[in-house]
Amino acid sequence: MRHTRPVLSASLLIVSLLWIAGLASAARATEEPTDRIIVKWRPATADASGELPESAMRRLEGSVGTKLNRQRSLGGGLHLLRLDSVRSPAQLDAVLVALRSNPQVLLAEADRRVHAHAYTPNDPLFAGQWYLQSQQVAAIRANTAWDLSKGGLSAASATVVVAVIDTGVRFEHPDLRTVASGGKLLPGYDFVSADKAGVYATANDGDGWDADASDPGDFLSAADLASATFSGKQCGSGTNKDQPTRSSWHGTRVAGLIAADTDNATGIAGAGFHLRILPARVLGKCGGYDSDVLAAMYWSAGLSIPTPLLSGAPPANANPAQVINLSLGGVGSCSAAYTEAVRDITAHGVLIVASAGNDGGPVDSPANCPGVLAVGGLRHAGTKVGYSNLGPEVALGAPAGNCVLTGANDPCLFSLDTTTDSGAQGPVGSTYTNSINSNVGTSFSAPLAAATAGLMRALNPRLTPSQLIARLRSSAATFPTASDTTPAPPVCHAPASKTDVQDAECLCTTSVCGAGLLNAGAALAEAQRPAAVAGISGTVGVGRALTLDGSGSGAAQGRSIASYAWSVVGTSGGASTPAFTNPNVATTTVLSPTSGSYTLRLTVTDSAGGSDSAELSVSAATSGGTTTSTAAPPASGSGGGGVLGLELLALAALAAQRRRCLHGPHDGRA
């Protein structure tokens, strides 16, 4: 897109300069008094060592009216001086003006104090949101990430949408306002279907798919548990899972962790600051159905659903998500339907984040599906929380909430505070979880990772799902090798089966808990690097030219791609080293191998010196047709034009036979 530069009128320019001057005055008012200044002498007046001769220094002191004490050289001709006394910002300004007007002085600046960046919002409950800060080992350092990106300049300008596929949300919550009222909640859709013709027990709202994504409550009464729909399903509470339950307001909790209104002087801060939320309701009483989850995933990603097999299909999603959060799941391996859906949706440039589960056993589905960012649960000290599932499918760990060694009625010391409703059944009033009404579970680990990924996409819109996962993993902090508990917990191991439960604290390793501890600040720093995206097309065959395309690569906000470099990583099977028509442009050509194979690499470098690489492999044995690499995602905020094929929708309908009752929301409840 071509951007034109606005032309300021003379009056507007004057107003702008006065406004900037006002900002400078406001900035000075916040600076500390100091006696430290940094100077650089003009080359013609400095001696061979870069210092001002002593006689010249004495004359300078007379003209400025203060003693200048040399401290040390800083390199590059810069020197630190101390004044004879500490000066207020206004007094220091006068000294600096006098120094800068002297012909011997090239520059003179205050030696200001610097601090580690850590943005602090004004939400009154932020102080208790330990998991967003840096006081605890497992905290994700979101406040340092916000110095790099808040997902936009405001909620109104946010470009990244995170879909929360869950129980729906409470739209009236003051920390989860709608976009229309200046908040970040998009309208969403309700995908909870009938249990059978005319029966909407799971939905609890009297109807099936519709445009109302609000959560009516998922409580289970004694009558519900005795009904034909839920009897024997073990979705209640208590030891035998047969006791009534309160409504969880699970989707409202998840949405709050991702993007509660932040810096609004109300309630909590959302990890994603200005990110927007797209609620898709798939869970109700006793969980939900695979088919509803699958349909919601496609719709949330902007892939439309055709009408022939389904009356009343939802309208096209006007606000496609770039990240999908699934704080839900069930036992077993990844099904063919979920495998297909994840493949389609990630190919469309959408990252899927899912919670690992809460049994201390193998990772649940769909978190165990290839291409999904599976998130395990950690205690505040960085060890695996007892209930979290674990295994090689886990990509990284994040805070899940834990109550340490408290009594039955004592506060939960490390709950994850978030938005909720106080109603035991239907909604009664907006409120927040806390140390008494605690909030724990891997359901709440996943949204912290989803929010971080959303901020990364906002900072660098060209990052693909695989690149987001790779950078989240490479930026993760190292797991601790000790705990705060006595005796020391054992080292975690991969569960051999669902009955091989490891439901107590253990010391994480990278083989079962992921690459490390989610670190939002470090992940945003990684997102600043450019994203290399390499494509190859053309018919493979002797002497045929293949087109290499790196134009899908992109730089982070405020940067641009400065250079492209194609190179040959290696050859095998007798393949000759190929030559590029031009190895230093975004799009070039290369001849197909006559035998064997070769691997090519694209390296892009941005205007700030950051770089990234992507590789392609081509084999002479490849059959005819077009070969392509992973494509770049659509630009943030753009829709998708794909369609969910009829054969896959039929497969999804068959998947409705498999009910998600034993594990619906991953909220850590017993």
**273 DSSP assignment:** T
Peptide bond into 427 cis (omega under 30): no
Looking at residues 641-667, what average pLDDT do you find? Answer: 42
Please tell me whether residues 284 and 366 are part of one structural domain.
yes
Is the pLDDT at 83 greater than 80, yes or no? yes
Phi, psi of 190 (to 5 degrees): -105, 115
Q: Which residue has the tokens 């090689």?
A: 392
Looking at residues 590-613, what average pLDDT do you find? Answer: 92
- With H, G, I as helix, E, B as strand and everything else as coil, classify residue 301: coil
Taking residue 552's Cβ as centre, other Cβ atoms within 10 Å add up to 19
Q: Are 216 and 206 in contact (CB under 8 A)?
A: no
Please tell me whether residues 457 and 499 are part of one structural domain.
yes
Sign of the four-CA dihedral 199, 202, 203, 206: positive
Q: Tell me the C-alpha distance between 540 and 626, whole Å.
A: 8
* CATH number of residue 209's parent domain: 3.40.50.200
Select the highest-mean-pLDDT range: 226-235, 368-377, 478-487, 637-646.
368-377
* CATH number of residue 51's parent domain: 3.30.70
The pLDDT score that the predictor gives to residue 51 is 87
Q: Are 348 and 324 in contact (CB under 8 A)?
A: no
Is the pLDDT at 398 greater than 70, yes or no? yes
Please tell me whether residues 346 and 446 are part of one structural domain.
yes
Q: Are 584 and 605 in contact (CB under 8 A)?
A: no
Phi-psi region of 76 (alpha: psi -120 to 50; beta: other; left: phi over 0): left
On whether residue 412 sits in a domain, the answer given is no
Q: Can you give the length of the chain in residues?
A: 670
Instruction: Output the CA torsion 288→290→296→300 (10° steps).
Output: 120
Please tell me whether residues 91 and 159 are part of one structural domain.
no
At 446-487, the pLDDT tens digits run 999 999 999 999 999 999 999 999 999 999 999 999 999 989
Nearest CA to 174 out of 417, 426, 430, 423 is that of: 430
Please tell me whether residues 445 and 540 are part of one structural domain.
no
Q: Tell me the C-alpha distance between 226 and 339, whole Å.
A: 35
Whole-angstrom distance between the N-terminal and C-terminal Cα of the chain? 53
Please tell me whether residues 608 and 470 are part of one structural domain.
no
The pLDDT score that the predictor gives to residue 614 is 93
* CATH number of residue 597's parent domain: 2.60.40.10
Please tell me whether residues 97 and 183 are part of one structural domain.
no
Q: Residue 304 CA to chain centroid, in angstroms? A: 25
Query: What b/e string do you get for 117-146 counting C-beta neighbours within 10 Å, with b at 16 or more?
Result: eebebebebbebbbbbbbebbbbbbbbbbb
- Among the residue ranges 45-59, 359-373, 581-595, 618-632, the one predicted with the least confidence is 618-632
The pLDDT score that the predictor gives to residue 632 is 54
Please tell me whether residues 149 and 197 are part of one structural domain.
yes
Please tell me whether residues 181 and 299 are part of one structural domain.
yes
Is the pLDDT at 542 greater than 80, yes or no? no
Please tell me whether residues 314 and 455 are part of one structural domain.
yes
Spatial neighbors of 71 by CB under 8 A, at least 6 apart, are 36, 79, 80, 81, 82
On whether residue 424 sits in a domain, the answer given is no
Sign of the four-CA dihedral 507, 511, 514, 519: positive
- Among the residue ranges 171-180, 507-516, 589-598, the one predicted with the least confidence is 589-598
Instruction: Give me the domain span that covers residue 62.
Output: 25-110
Please tell me whether residues 364 and 479 are part of one structural domain.
yes
Spatial neighbors of 11 by CB under 8 A, at least 6 apart, are none
Spatial neighbors of 2 by CB under 8 A, at least 6 apart, are none
Nearest CA to 666 out of 352, 331, 337 is that of: 331
Please tell me whether residues 294 and 210 are part of one structural domain.
yes
Phi-psi region of 339 (alpha: psi -120 to 50; beta: other; left: phi over 0): alpha
> What percent of the chain is predicted at pLDDT more than 90?
63
DSSP bridge pairs for 643: 304
Nearest CA to 593 out of 625, 546, 532 is that of: 546
CA neighbours within 13 Å on the CB side: how many for 156? 3
CA neighbours within 13 Å on the CB side: how many for 10? 0
Across the chain, mean pLDDT equals 85
Q: Are 622 and 550 in contact (CB under 8 A)?
A: no
Is the pLDDT at 14 greater than 60, yes or no? no
On whether residue 258 sits in a domain, the answer given is no
Query: Six-digit token pair at 582?
Result: 């031009």
| Domain-ending residue, one of 110, 141, 159 | 110
On whether residue 120 sits in a domain, the answer given is no
Written as one string, the DSSP assignment of 357-411 is: -SSSSSPPBTTTSTT-EEEEEE-TTSSBPTT---STTEEEEEE--B--S--TTS-
On whether residue 259 sits in a domain, the answer given is no
Looking at residues 637-663, what average pLDDT do you find? Answer: 36
H-helix or E-strand spanning residue 611: strand 611-619
The pLDDT score that the predictor gives to residue 645 is 36
On whether residue 275 sits in a domain, the answer given is yes
Query: How far is CA 83 from each of CA 13, 109, 153, 553, rounded to the nearest angstrom?
Result: 37, 13, 40, 51
Peptide bond into 33 cis (omega under 30): no
Looking at residues 199-222, what average pLDDT do you find? Answer: 94
On whether residue 248 sits in a domain, the answer given is no
The total domain count for the chain is 3
Taking residue 57's Cβ as centre, other Cβ atoms within 10 Å add up to 16
Taking residue 7's Cβ as centre, other Cβ atoms within 10 Å add up to 7
Q: Which residue has the tokens 């990924």?
A: 453
Give me Rg for the CA atoms of the chain.
29
Q: Residue 449 CA to chain centroid, in angstroms? A: 5
- Among the residue ranges 149-153, 223-227, 259-263, 652-656, the one predicted with the least confidence is 652-656
**484 DSSP assignment:** S
Q: Tell me the C-alpha distance between 288 and 218, whole Å.
A: 11
CA neighbours within 13 Å on the CB side: how many for 316? 9
- With H, G, I as helix, E, B as strand and everything else as coil, classify residue 225: helix
Angle at 392 between CA 387 and CA 393, to 5 degrees: 80
Looking at residues 8-14, what average pLDDT do you find? Answer: 34
Taking residue 95's Cβ as centre, other Cβ atoms within 10 Å add up to 19
Q: Tell me the C-alpha distance between 564 and 586, whole Å.
A: 6
Q: Tell me the C-alpha distance between 213 and 22, whole Å.
A: 46
Q: Tell me the C-alpha distance between 556 and 551, whole Å.
A: 15
The pLDDT score that the predictor gives to residue 369 is 96
The pLDDT score that the predictor gives to residue 96 is 94
On whether residue 119 sits in a domain, the answer given is no
Spatial neighbors of 571 by CB under 8 A, at least 6 apart, are 577, 593, 596, 597, 598, 599
Is the pLDDT at 37 greater than 50, yes or no? yes
State the pTM of this model: 0.81
Written as one string, the DSSP assignment of 437-455 is: S---SGGGTHHHHHHHHHH
